[in-house]
Amino acid sequence: MATFYNQATLSYNGNTTTSNITTGELVEVLSAKKHALLPDYVAGDAVTYIVTVVNSGTVPFTDLTITDDLGKYAFGGTEVTPLTYVNGSIKYYVNGILQATPTVTAADDLAVTGISVPANGNVAIVYQAAVNQFAPLATGSIISNTATVSGTSLTNNLIATEQITAADTAMLTISKSVSPTTVSENGQLTYTFVIQNNGNTPATAADNVIVTDTFNPILDPITVTFNGTAWASPTNYTYDATTGEFASVAGQITVPAATYTRDAATGSLIINPGVSILTITGTV
């Protein structure tokens, strides 16, 4: 609610006089909110946002524009944008009924034009934004994202902000290689498993990480090391020499958290994954 003031001036025969000052209040009947479906994010996520605009008045608002800064923030004397609009993801609802797709412009900012809010009604704009290479990932990092509703029929723009937090989690991947790639009967093979963690939290014994594999051809006997330290069965792993089935014991594999640096020129985040290496050598 905004207060306004008004005063008239009367001029006659070179004289000037003013009226009393009238006071009134302008009631803003349009409100906006922004909401992310999930409170946290990891690298590569597609975050779903909902912007709702509610009209409590008796007159519709037409030709509104909703813009989203996609979390833009300052870095190194410039600005970087940690979210990228997912093309084609937008949905436009009026009083809960899906409408034709509105006009969308997506550059550094997202702009949705031609939005109308009926009297005593509401609209919802639903869209997705992908977490890109400029999103901070360290523990405690946030993306603060602001939507603005504007239009000639509005006295003031409406501002709605949502904040999501980098999830504290491990993000593991595994790759496998064999050496040599050609081996003679009764020769030796070495399988190397590289386990990487792109997350901001280490994988600990409590995460119960397990690596399983079935070797074909079967290896017998085998030797196993983890990060250069010899493993023993059944303390660290189990192995069935008749089937070739290998499994690490839950809690034996740990992987350090990733570290993050920035490209000084572009502001792009560089992920330096935490790494652990499991090596299994055996006779064919």
> Which tens digit of pLDDT belongs to each residue from 16-66?
888 777 765 555 789 999 999 999 999 999 999 999 999 999 999 999 999
- Residue 46 within a domain: yes
Residues 114 and 212 in one domain: no
* 10 within a domain of the structure (yes/no): no
Higher-confidence residue: 72 or 28? 72
Find the mean pLDDT for residues 79-87.
96
Name residue 32's amino acid: A
Q: For residue 6, tell me if it sits in a domain.
A: no
Q: Which of 51-55, 89-93, 108-112, 132-136 has the lowest mean pLDDT?
A: 108-112
Whether residue 210 is found in the same domain as residue 143: no
| DSSP one-letter code for 8 | E
Q: Domain residues for 102?
A: 26-166
Residues 190 and 246 placed together within one structural domain of the fold: yes
pLDDT digits (tens, 9 = 90+) for 115-163: 999 999 999 999 999 999 999 999 999 999 999 999 998 989 999 999 9
220 and 97: one domain?
A: no
Residues 199, 92 within the same domain: no
Give me the number of domains the chain comprises.
2
One domain for residues 189 and 278: yes
139, part of any domain: yes
Q: Are 74 and 160 in contact (CB under 8 A)?
A: no
48 lies in the same domain as 81:
yes
Pairwise CA distance, residues 225 & 49, whole Å: 46
Q: Which residue has the higher pLDDT, 166 or 106?
A: 166
How far is residue 235's CA from residue 99's CA, in Å, rounded to a whole number?
61
User: How many CB atoms are located within 10 Å of the residue 87 CB?
Assistant: 9
pLDDT in tens, 172-207: 999 999 999 998 888 999 999 999 999 999 999 999
**What local confidence, expressed as pLDDT, does residue 6 receive?**
82
Residues of the chain above pLDDT 70, percent: 96
Query: In the prediction, which pLDDT does 23 show?
Result: 67
- The 10s digit of each residue's pLDDT in 229-277 is 999 999 999 999 999 999 999 999 999 999 999 999 999 999 999 999 9
For residues 193 and 277, the answer to whether their CB atoms sit within 8 Å is yes
DSSP per residue over 73-112, as a string? Answer: EEETTEEE--EEE-TT--EEEETTEE-PPPEEEESSSEEE
Give CA separation, 22 vs 2, 26, 137, in Å: 14, 13, 54
Q: Is 5 among the domain residues?
A: no
In this structure, are 152 and 237 located in the same domain? Answer: no
CATH number reported for the structural domain that contains residue 72 in this entry: 2.60.40.740
Model pLDDT, residue 8: 83
pLDDT for res 46: 97
Same-domain pairing of 185 and 275: yes
For residue 225, what pLDDT is reported? 98
In a domain, 40, yes or no: yes
